Structure 1
Amino acid sequence: MSRYDIAIVGAGIAGASLAAELAPHARVLIVEAEAQPGYHSTGRSAAFWSETYGGPAIQPLTSASEEGLRPYLEPLGSHHIARADERALVDEYLAEFDGSGVLLEEVDPRERIPGLRDEWVYCVSEPTCAYIDVGGLHGAYLKTAKQAGADLRLSAGLESVVRENGLWMLRTRAGAFEAGILVNAAGAWADPVAAMAGAKPLGIQPYRRTMVQIVTDPEPPADLTHVGHIGGSFYFKPEAGGRLWVSPHDEIVTDPCDAQPEDIDVAIAIDRFEHCVDWRVAKLEHKWAGLRSFAPDRLPVYGFDARQERLFWFAGQGGFGIQTAPAAALIAASLITGNAPAEVVAGIDAERYSPRRFG
């Protein structure tokens, strides 16, 4: 039975980023249930970095991640739009980020978004919003981890987890392993993994989110940004070849699974898009769904379990796990190793993300 200092369950962006931080300092194992890492959430991401996404409690993590993400960012920009009767939402949005350092400006949406329908009269511009090369970022984390000695085992779904004699004994479809610390970076499966390890689940709930790729007539302008309803009912963003990605911003409660799009959610996405702009949907080219997982308070969970010894939670990262990955991994690595946090995250209160907040 191979022995490691740290075993990480899950090779999505959470597990990969943390492994890259830990591998230079410890012998790290990553066990992934699927045949490819990042299959359920990371590989189906909408792939943009927005400092306001996730709200003011997530923004410090997102802003602190910019430096680490910079090689994987490409300018995009964002416009958060609202109807005439939604002025209060605009004021609330601006107030939430007042003093945060996030660059926001109220602008006329008709000057920024061709074909916008008349009811959309308010707009907040977030020019720093950017595309993320998710595949490049995820691959770089895995490469860094493996070059530092981390061992990645794919098709290694957990069969049992037992703590004996101060060690975690893991039996997987790819073999048996021992580790001093068990990291739960299992995404939508975080609560089942915790239960398997003898810990109390935290109520981390998976949700399904739908995305469609469409062709429109006319084609979107070359300088189109990400466009989203400030009330959170849809967004769309340009992609290569004049395509658009459109989401109804849905969050459908689901069990952990290989999420698939439902026809009703695809129809809702297109309907909400057509009620925003007067562009005709000429073709629906592709549709898919991914999973996002939230703790009850919708904040991520970083830290050792309150009761189960040497079980570390790194989960509940919702739809912001990729855009916060560098900061999250630095914070988690500091908590695991006991080393001082990196300067870029030193001002972030890690305690607000601790699993101990649930009692």
Structure 2
Amino acid sequence: MAGQWFESVAEAQRRAKKSLPKSVYGALVAGSEAGATLEDNINAFRELQFLPHVCDLPFEKDLTTTVMGQEISMPVIVSPTGVQAVNPEGEVAVARAAKNAGTAMGLSSFASRSVEDVVEANDKTFFQMYWVGDRETLAARAERAKKAGAKGLIVTLDWSFSHGRDWGSPSIPEKMDWKTILKYIPEGATRPKWGLAFLRSGKIPDLTVPNIPTQGEQPPTFFGAYGQWMFTPPPTWADVAWLREQWGSDLPFSVKGITRIDDAKRAVDAGATAIQVSNHGGNNLDSTPAPIRVLPGIVEAVGRDVEVILDGGIRRGSDVVKALALGAKAVAIGRAYLWGLAAAGQPGVENVFEILRGGIGSGLMGLGKSSVHELVPEDLIIPPNFTRQAVN
């Protein structure tokens, strides 16, 4: 990996921008509408400050924890993201990198690689589902993930199909065939590294989603699956409780997309063992506050009942420390590892994990903590009006 190492997630993003065609990079950085939530996800962390110690600091630091029944080397896991056409190996490369980092993989039902392939690459894999299709197909999809060896189920509920980005939405083809490839050659020629990686692998960017169909069906395209999702009636809390029963009462079950106390409580009532405080990386309803702003109220309300995971805006180890100090059990990263994947493939994802690991260690040392489990809100300077009232 000599010459490829980068020392910040920001540098990974810069390299990703240089490596990826404009439309592919645009899909990674996009947020909905004005991008207000996308910006707040990052800026909110900057408002929180540390007041470090200078003596009696710990030499040994313990970053290990458990999430959804899995022991992990640090409180950072992979958040599920859709078709990863930034690298030929896609989710399998991410899963291997997470395994080498000693942590868990979240696999999207809209991924470009099958749950069977990803679990083989990392047995600490959680399978994520959108509410797509009727109960029979949903139950079959969950059963397939269970048979493949997925250790937990993540149900993503935070999606309102918001669109109309002020800066324009990236152009994404419905499927990749030679006609489409010829159309995109001029754009790809400006970023030859990306195209050459796929040519060397003998593959073309695959926009089908193998985890949506049940046995015997052909995988739909990403947009085909998206269309199914759009025309599936949104679930009720009774539906969520039903899926929890189908998955199995003895297996970890997480609800993703929580930003309100009342929804957090309903998730607990539906049988969740974990919740993910998230606004879909700023890609859902714009003007939603950053998850870190609503985290304290949610932790206070349900933190004794379920594990609370946070995603949105994590770019450095100090962000992880701040989230843990406010009560999160762990954080999940999305764009950060995708930029690493685009910059240098699997080693780039591993690079991102090591950046975060180092930053967490530095944060613990500065705050005089020997373990991530010792972090508390008093480790932070929280400005007035930082938190947002999450409805009871």
Q: Which bracket does the TM-score occupy, shorter chain normalised?
A: under 0.3
Structure showing the higher strand proportion among its residues: 1
TM superposition score normalised by structure 1: 0.28
Structure showing the higher helix proportion among its residues: 2
Point out which structure has higher relative CO (alpha carbons under 8 A, 6+ apart).
2
TM superposition score normalised by structure 2: 0.26
